[in-house]
Amino acid sequence: MLNDINEPLMRLWESIIESPETIASAYQRLWKSQLGREREYYDAVRAKFNKTRKPHYLLYLLARCVKASVRYNSEGKFNQSPDNRRRGMSPDTMRWHILTASRLLNGKATVTVGDYRKTLEAVQPEDVVYMDPPYQGVCMNRDPRYINLLEFEEFTASLRRLNERQISFILSYDGKTGDKSFGKPMPKELDLVHIEIDAGRSSQATLLGRNHNTYESIYLSPALVERIGKVSKRHLTIAPKQLSLLAQNGA
Ligand SMILES: C[S@@+](CC[C@H](N)C(=O)[O-])C[C@H]1O[C@@H](n2cnc3c(N)ncnc32)[C@H](O)[C@@H]1O
């Protein structure tokens, strides 16, 4: 089941990295065709995606669905509803994100589908691994968004093995809104550098009339911190425009 769900997502990443113009144009076509009939169009694209698993349909659904949050039913069919207040990211902005991601990752990233434990076995000290597992807060509430729940203990054991092998990794995990934290922090013995990134106002907090920002937790492995020398705030609050400059310079 995990692979059935992740396969289309990884095919989407493959398209973004290797054929960015094609996927950006396909998104633009879908986005423009929806105008004036957004609700029915979403349902039609969702039905097409559930039949064909094509990446451009998934990209459109991700841009239009509620809280950009992927949900599948027990038969592996995408069943998230549309956010009827929004049309989804404009094609120009989407193209910019796609081209920037491609410039950063093309020729440097490997796309594979499978259980993370298997994928991590192949990783080498010269690689940089970015992990974005299902959030603990989500798992502990047994949110159906993620069918395969990641066991915290097993996951931290994998991180320990990565440390033993001197692997550079970045992990986004849990976070907090106002003073409400999601999930427990990573164990101290992993010696990770923990940084909180201000991700702006959470939509949930805004709806409830609260003035809280959401903070995403990022953890850096000791091998990565040693490799980049030291961690400054600049590394972590880099603006999208700077990112595109880095990409153009091949950083
Ligand atoms: C927060 S999402 C990551 C989204 C990703 N950053 C992206 O931009 O596409 C967490 C992902 O972990 C996947 N996942 C859950 N359990 C996994 C496992 N045991 N091995 C590999 N991936 C897993 C889920 O299917 C989901 O796609």
Same domain, 65 and 145: no
The residue range of the domain holding 121 is 115-248
| Per-residue pLDDT reduced to its tens digit, 193-209 | 988 877 766 555 555 55
DSSP 67: G
Domain boundary among 47, 80, 103: 103
Same domain, 133 and 88: no
Kindly report the protein residue whose alpha carbon is nearest to atom 27 of ligand 1.
6
- What pLDDT is stored for residue 145 in this prediction? 43
Domain boundary among 72, 103, 134: 103
Q: Is 36 exposed, middle or buried (0-12, 13-18, 19+ CB in 10 A)?
A: exposed
- From ligand 1's centre to the CA of 146, what distance in Å? 8
What is the reported pTM? 0.79
At 157, the pLDDT band (50, 70, 90 cuts) reads: very high
Give the CATH number of the domain where residue 86 resides: 1.10.1020.10
Domain boundary among 103, 136, 171: 103
What per-residue string of b and e applies to 131-162 under the rule 16 or more CB within 10 Å gives b? beeebbbbbeeeeebbeeebebeebeebbeeb
Task: Report yes or no: 72 and 134 within 8 Å, Cβ to Cβ.
Answer: no
Q: Report the pocket of ligand 1 as residue ranges, CB < 6 Å.
A: 2, 5-6, 9, 115-116, 132-134, 146, 148, 150
Same domain, 121 and 243: yes
Which residues share a beta bridge with 13? Answer: none
